[in-house]
Amino acid sequence: MEKIEERVYMKGAMDPVQSLQPGWVLCEFDMDWSKGCQDMGAAWIVKDERGKVIEHSRRAFSAIHKPGQWPLLQFHASEIRRELQALEAWELRIGSVASIRCASFIAQSVKVLGFFQSYVAAGSPRWLDHLYANERLSSGN
C-alpha cells in the first residue's frame, strides 16, 4: 500500500522551487507523527511569490491515541475548510518531500527536539536560515 501511495504522491509532485502567480502566496504544511508516540508536531510556512517567508507556525498536539480528543482535530479541519471557502481563489498542490523540507523540520522539532511550545511568528525560523539561503541561491532570488 505504501508503494502505491508513494507512486501517486510522486507522480503529482511539484519541483522543490515552486512558481506562483504574482500576488499569490504558498502555504507549505507538514506533520510528524508515529504510532509509538503520544505527540504530533505540525507546521506551516507561508511564502510570497518570490519565495520569501512571510510567517510560519508550529503546533504540538498531544493525546493523539485518545479518540475522545479527535473531535478537537475535526474542529480545526472544519476551520481550515471555512477559511479556504472565504478566499477568492485557491489551489491545492501536492509537493515533494524536498519542497516542504523546512516545514518538515519544524514539525519534527516537537518529537525530535522536544519543542512543545506552539506559536505563530513572522519571517522564517532563525535556526533554518541556512536552508532558506540555499533555496534563494538555487532559485535566483
Residue 55 has pLDDT above 90, yes or no: yes
Q: Report pLDDT for 73.
A: 72
pTM: 0.72
Helix (H, G, I), strand (E, B) or coil at 74: helix
Question: Which residues have a Cβ under 8 Å from the Cβ of 118 and sit 6 or more positions away?
Answer: 57, 58, 59, 60
Residue 13 has pLDDT above 70, yes or no: no
Residue 103 has pLDDT above 80, yes or no: yes
Residue 32 has pLDDT above 80, yes or no: yes
Could you tell me which residues are beta bridge partners of residue 32? 41
Average pLDDT rounded to a whole number, residues 53-71: 80
The residue ranges of every structural domain in the chain are: 2-139
Residue 119 has pLDDT above 50, yes or no: yes
Residue 23 has pLDDT above 80, yes or no: yes
Pairing relation of β-strands 26-32 and 119-122? unpaired
Alpha-carbon span 58 to 28, nearest angstrom: 12
User: Residues 61, 58, 86, CA angle at the centre, nearest 5°?
Assistant: 95
User: Residues 71, 76, 79, CA angle at the centre, nearest 5°?
Assistant: 125
Q: Report pLDDT for 138.
A: 62
Enter the C-alpha cell of residue 29. 504544511
Alpha-carbon span 16 to 125, nearest angstrom: 19
